[in-house]
Structure 1
Amino acid sequence: MTIDASQIIDRLIDEEQARFKVTHSRSAAAWARGRKSFLYGGPSHWMRRWAGGFPIYVDKARGCHVTDIDGRTYIDFCLGDTGGMCGHAPEAVTQAATRQLQRGTTHMMPTEDSLWVGEELQRRFGLPYWTLTTSATDANRGAIRIARMITGREKVLVFSGCYHGGVEEAHVELRDGRMGLRNMIHPNGFDHARLCKVVEFNDVAALEAALADGDVACVLMEPLITNFGMIPVAEGFHEAVRTATRRTGTLLIIDETHTISCGPGGYTGEHGLKPDIFVTGKAIAGGIPAGVFGLSQETAERLWKLIPHVNPRERQSSHFGIGGTLAGNALTIAAMRAVLEEVLTPENYTRMHACAERLARGAEEIIVGHNLPWHVTRIGGRVEIMFSPHPPQNAADVRATRRGDLETLLHACYMNEGILVTPFHTMFLMCPATADADVDRHTQVFSRFVDKLAAAEAV
């Protein structure tokens, strides 16, 4: 891009952010107040990432619509970066949570609902033994700990560009062929060089070379990369990963915290993958913090040899570094049952996927019609618009072609026009309440954005 073009985009960003500030005066005042008491302005430092220059402050949300404290409404394709994939305030979850709030939220004892949830997790995801946590990060930590326990190995292999929550082992990426920390993460005493390996996604040769030493406890992977711009999986890659991990005695952990949008059983269920440990979270309890991980029969039996079931005659801790007093609490269980039984149903997935296809098709028609070097990727109920001509094969491809300035401009324009997308990149998620009219509204706004950009560059 020429300097002049960059200056044009910077000017347009300034205009959109100035417009946002004028039309969101109450949110602007709230943000100024929040910065006096929160470390980075809001309850979570992630909340500062919105392209308007500050976040909207939410008054209420229902389905796929959000209303802020300035009285403005939005179509929400961010959905809490997947945490709200069930839609905001789904009736079944609201009713189940309200009932359980009146009966007690946490006891460190199971309820009868937990029996149904455990059996449904078995049926839906195909692994026999499950544990609940308070987040997918905790689920991944537990899965890694188990892998290290039963293999006697230390190293964890991840793919560059991945996202697995706050797991230290996943805070690495490749830059110019060398491992380093990603996303401005600073060292905190964790020995990444000793405990981690990282290779590019879709690179079978690099994966096999990294596993050849027999020192990797587990491969922790998403079925496709969703956090660095969506990176589709190459044909045959999953089969190669499963073959290589079995050959080297390495456990395979599949994290479907995002790709649960692919279907009732996630990408794993849709494509018949066979992980040793399966992880998901965020959407699984309708936005109430929760994560789960399931173990295969063989993996569970290997763990039981090390950590047998507790002898009830002995007062001892069975902690083994996993869990917490709030894990599997009654409120989470009640919400999870409502989600699995009434919200994330095959029928709702069909509607979500149809809306995603409609959004992708509308965006593609605009891109092709204007002969733009951009592309659209759809996986299940999730869509990504990327400012590069072809879907990336790995994180290096994303890094080489990413247009952060255009992403910021598009996101700021969206917010001014009543559209919310994941603020970290241009990813859209459907929920059961998303309708054709919501998708068509996006198509209109995206078309106006393209026209506005073309007009500015023509001057």
Structure 2
Amino acid sequence: MSSSGIAESAVASLAAGERQRFLDRHPRCAELAARARHALFGGVPMHWMSDWSTPLPLFVERAQGARFVDVDGHEYIDFCLGDTGSMFGHSPAPIAQALREQAGNGLTSMLPGEDAVVCGELLAERFGLPYWQVTTTATDANRFVLRWARAITGRKVILLFDGCYHGTVDEAMVRGRDGRTVHRPGLIGQARNLTQHSRVVPFNDLAALEAALAPGDVAALLCEPALTNIGMVLPEPGFLAAVRELTRRAGTLLILDETHTISTGPGGCTRAWSLEPDFLTLGKPVAGGVPCAVYGCSAAMAQAMQLARQHASEQGHGHGHSGMGTTLSANALAMHCMRASLERVMTPAAYAHMLAMAARLAAGLRALLARHALPWSVNELGARCEFQFCATPPQNGAEAEAAFHDSLQQALHLYLINRGILITPFHNMTLCCPDTSAADVDRLLAVLDEALSALLAIPGARAG
């Protein structure tokens, strides 16, 4: 009997039938998958694209708004939305227009244009931090900010919350185990010991945070305002305010990664919750799905960054060797799309609709779980919500991970996919975009209701 309250035998029975249903309905996907195995490692352009619940990759033909169509002609309501990359829908009209406008005017030149100035002004107004830089991915933004933090403080250690998500930043590839910091399971090709300069504490644990800061060697705390990738974990009342107080007292910089938590509102949790970071990073949706990310800083940090550059120059390092920046960073195409996104896509009106749809979905999920007498919980963060296989919402990454039931999750996801619904893989998270309708939300709830009914009808499904 799983802690989810569902017997593994019932999960296996449901999954077997759904796998065959998928194969029967997707001959074109099967054909492409066979071809891809000869040209792409693992049959996909990024290896994790084969980690979905489907028995072979689901190949997409086109996407628009809250929907996409696969190569077999099946339409899907998309609640995954590129795991936030398309949080405002696939190919929003202003982004499509911006792409057309810039297509004939140069894609990259390693020089700024007016769009860059406007984007900086819009970001400062939106998030309350006065100075900004542009990168290609949030991983880059986080990496570069960690370099600045170490240069400013003269310290090497980076502090993180267990279960955090910060892209593929090396320092974040660690977990907490029995009070120790260890390498993240599954990490490939790691040459150096990350635990020498990375330290992990549980989310929502102020005593552990204070103890980790006590040695006085922590350059920065890199964190999400709420955990989003280990399963959603929300901060307890007063936790983030105490985090800010403790980091300031310790001389440690606070970096907020809003790449996922931008679902909260136009200014992310930083504005919604009146947070005061030294640095803020944001990627994925900021340019409407075109690769682009940003990081912002306070006036004090900007001054400290300039002093760090001067010091490096005085040490004979010269220019262009900061370890930050890639040639395609802040390219003209990305900047034009980011301007369109900030001005016409990531609007208060868009958020008002998204948050209303997510609230409708969360309420529906709670009613559905109660109707089926399942001991699961539902968490919300703006346009994002998630159901988790535990009776009460988890308070830290370890609790969220303990609630995982991978086979059950995959069976439910595949059931949804086979009936035209996609949610985020690896956990049960959903996003609502400006094109998500009340009918779309109700359809997800109805299909999940069918899935749970089918699962619980299997003999022994609730057996202890």
Give TM-score scaled by structure 2 length. Answer: 0.96
1:367-406 correspondence runs (5 A): 367-406=369-408
2:97 to 71, 95, 98: 95
Look up the match of 2:440.
438
Going from structure 1 to structure 2, the CA distance change for 1:4 and 1:129 (only over 3 Å counts) comes to closer
- Give the Å deviation of 1:403: 1.5
**2:231 and 2:401 in contact (8 A); partners too:** no
Q: Which moved more, 1:26-35 or 1:344-353?
A: 26-35
Identical-residue share of aligned pairs (%): 47
**2:76 and 2:421 in contact (8 A); partners too:** yes
Q: Which moved more, 1:186-195 or 1:422-431?
A: 186-195
The one-letter code sitting in structure 2 at the alignment partner of 1:171 is M
Look up the match of 2:211.
209
Look up the match of 1:249.
251
1:306-317 correspondence runs (5 A): 306-308=308-310, 317=319
After superposition, give the CA deviation of every residue in 1:140-172 in whole Å (9 maximum; x if it has no partner): 000100000011111111111111001011011
Look up the match of 2:368.
366
1:279 to 278, 281, 284: 281
- Give the Å deviation of 1:308: 4.2
Q: Distance in 2 between the 1:183 and 1:224 partners? A: 22
SS at match of 1:384: strand
- Give the Å deviation of 1:450: 1.3
Q: Distance in 2 between the 1:143 and 1:253 partners? A: 8
Look up the match of 2:266.
264
**2:222 and 2:256 in contact (8 A); partners too:** yes
Q: Distance in 2 between the 1:209 and 1:271 partners? A: 25
**1:84 and 1:287 in contact (8 A); partners too:** yes
SS at match of 2:112: coil
SS at match of 1:214: coil
After superposition, give the CA deviation of every residue in 1:272-291 in whole Å (9 maximum; x if it has no partner): 10000000000000111111
SS at match of 1:13: helix
**2:388 and 2:403 in contact (8 A); partners too:** no
- Give the Å deviation of 1:317: 2.4
The one-letter code sitting in structure 1 at the alignment partner of 2:365 is A
1:330 to 329, 332, 336: 332
Structure 1: gaps (5+ residues)? none
The one-letter code sitting in structure 2 at the alignment partner of 1:137 is T
How many residues get paired? 457
Going from structure 1 to structure 2, the CA distance change for 1:272 and 1:4 (only over 3 Å counts) comes to closer
- Give the Å deviation of 1:405: 1.7
1:155 to 157, 160, 166: 157
The one-letter code sitting in structure 2 at the alignment partner of 1:213 is P
Q: Which runs of 4+ in 1 moved over 3 A?
A: 308-311
1:105 to 98, 104, 107: 107
The one-letter code sitting in structure 2 at the alignment partner of 1:269 is R
Give the root-mean-square deviation of aligned CA atoms.
1.8
**1:168 and 1:190 in contact (8 A); partners too:** no
Look up the match of 2:425.
423
The one-letter code sitting in structure 2 at the alignment partner of 1:13 is A
Give TM-score scaled by structure 1 length. Answer: 0.97
